[in-house]
Amino acid sequence: MGTGKFMILVPLFHLKFLDGIRRLRCRNFKWAAIVGLAVTLGACTHTDEVATTASVPDDYRLRHPIAIREANRSVVIFVGQARGGLSAEQRADVMGLAQVWLQEGTGAIVADVPVGTPNARAAGEAFREANALLSAAGVPPRGILMHQYHPDDPRQLATLRLSYPKITADAGPCGLWPEDLGPSIKDKGYLENKPYYNFGCAYQRNMAAMVDNPADLVQPRSETPPYTIRRTEGFEKYRKGTTTTTTYPEADKAKLSDTGK
């Protein structure tokens, strides 16, 4: 028996269809490889930049900055209707105001004097005495201004108020709680372990109140002249080869080791 060879004939349109499927699979494989490579490289990419997701800064110095502004400093003098003039404590307050105004005042002293009140006459006498004390302390006449006023509430005692503008440091206001302190779905900062909004406000406000000169928060003061006598004495001891430290003879008399002897 001879070996026969068989040939299967496939229509032409079937061959074209199979060739299109093969090309489509190759094309899809190439796109899948490109996408997989991009995902792999993207997972290895990192950046050092911190994304800002909240409008409130985390630093308390930025949330509650110390602002330098011009504000009034006042001394309130209570005056009764049956007595004119100032008491001893009120005179001391006026003199203290005058001395401080010479150092830090940025404007004239304004005296608010009540009119049309039961104690208006006594307040006028108290103002005249206060004006004399201010002048005696060195405040020039143009540095004192009188302003008459009538209180809105007749039940309140009308007072004599002396005030002047000065440069001051301030922070706040404090006591604002825009978010809950406990866990809440509205407070995203709780889950991120961030400080609450009011944190650091009291510290900034107290620091601003304790500063003697608000300009120290912006720039340092100029150096004062050195103590020439003490410096010359130290150089002289150094030239002679002796110790430059100060000796205190009484220091050896109060030692704990001598207790009980």
CATH number of the domain to which 165 belongs: 3.30.1330.60
Sheet containing strand 67-77, strands side by side: 67-77, 160-170, 109-114, 144-149
Is pTM beyond 0.85 here?
Answer: no
Asked whether residue 116 falls in the same domain as residue 204, the answer is no
pLDDT tops 70 at residue 221: yes
Asked whether residue 153 falls in the same domain as residue 205, the answer is no
pLDDT tops 90 at residue 256: no
User: Which tens digits make up the pLDDT trace of 55-97?
Assistant: 668 888 899 999 999 999 999 999 998 877 899 999 999 999 9
Asked whether residue 182 falls in the same domain as residue 162, the answer is no
Q: Range of 201's domain?
A: 173-210
Number of neighbouring beta carbons within 10 Å of residue 77: 21
Measure the CA angle with vertex 98, ends 168 and 125; round to 5°.
Answer: 125
Residue 154 covered by a domain? yes
Asked whether residue 99 falls in the same domain as residue 186, the answer is no
Residue 193 covered by a domain? yes
Residue 216 covered by a domain? no
Residue 188 covered by a domain? yes
- Which tokens is 94 given? 């006026």
Asked whether residue 100 falls in the same domain as residue 142, the answer is yes
Residue 35 covered by a domain? no
- Which tokens is 191 given? 């889950």
In 45-163, where does DSSP find H-type helix?
60-63, 88-104, 120-136
For residue 188, what are the CA distances in angstroms to 57, 158, 192? 14, 51, 7
Most confident among 22-36, 49-63, 211-225 (mean pLDDT) = 211-225
Q: At what angle do helices 120-136 and 88-104 cross, to 10 degrees?
A: 50
Asked whether residue 99 falls in the same domain as residue 163, the answer is yes
C-alpha 236/C-alpha 82 separation (Å) is: 70
Residue 46 covered by a domain? no
Rg (CA), the chain: 42
Domain count, the chain: 2
Residue 59 covered by a domain? no
Residue 182 covered by a domain? yes
Query: Closest Cα to residue 91, out of 105, 107, 77?
Result: 77
